[in-house]
Copies of this chain bind each other. A is one copy, B any other.
Amino acid sequence: MLSNACKYTIRSMLYLALYTDETKKIGVKKIAEDLDTPQPFLAKLLQQLTRSKLVSSTKGPNGGFFLSKKNKEKSVWDIIKSIDGTEKFSQCFLGLSKCDDENPCPVHSIVTPFKQRILEDFRDKTILQWAEEIKKSGTVLSLRDFDAFKE
């Protein structure tokens, strides 16, 4: 469903939403370590998100990536649009050239409700809302033990 690239960036965005703001930035190296992702690859992806105005960055000492207030109003759907594109979400699970209710494939009625449910979250919730829910629910962005404020 999602490419590795997209998985890395979604988790990075949520991580940045939780641990950064205009005054607190984090470099790729630390992000990649904390989230267990390939560092140079993630750097490329974050650059792309920066170009699409989804994340902010500054160079030099104490520089790094962060999410501004505005960045935090974006949705996961915006990330997906920027990295993977959204075609996969409208495609048939079994590869029919079109997925619709008129000519459903045998799994259409199982897959469609799920897609709608997850799409709802991806499109309608802001990154900030995601971050708040993560804090409340105790869900995780990495299985690695890390402290975002260390060093």
A130:B106 contact, CB within 8 angstroms: yes
- Nearest CB of chain B from residue A111's CB, rounded to whole Å: 7
B111:A36 contact, CB within 8 angstroms: no
Interface residues of A in 101-121 (CB under 8 A from B): 103-108, 110-111, 114, 117-118, 121
A8:B95 contact, CB within 8 angstroms: yes
A111-143 Cβ-contact flags toward B at 8 Å (1 or 0): 100100110010000000010011001011111
B2:A105 contact, CB within 8 angstroms: no
Q: A10-B94, A94-B7, A118-B111 are in contact. Are A103 and B2 (CB under 8 A)?
A: no
Q: A106-B130, A107-B118, A110-B117 are in contact. Are A140 and B1 (CB under 8 A)?
A: no
- Is the CB of A4 closer than 8 A to any CB of chain B? yes
- Is the CB of A98 closer than 8 A to any CB of chain B? yes
- Is the CB of A14 closer than 8 A to any CB of chain B? yes
Contacts from A to B (Cβ < 8 Å): 1-2, 4, 7-8, 10-11, 14, 36-37, 93-98, 103-108, 110-111, 114, 117-118, 121, 130, 133-134, 137, 139-143
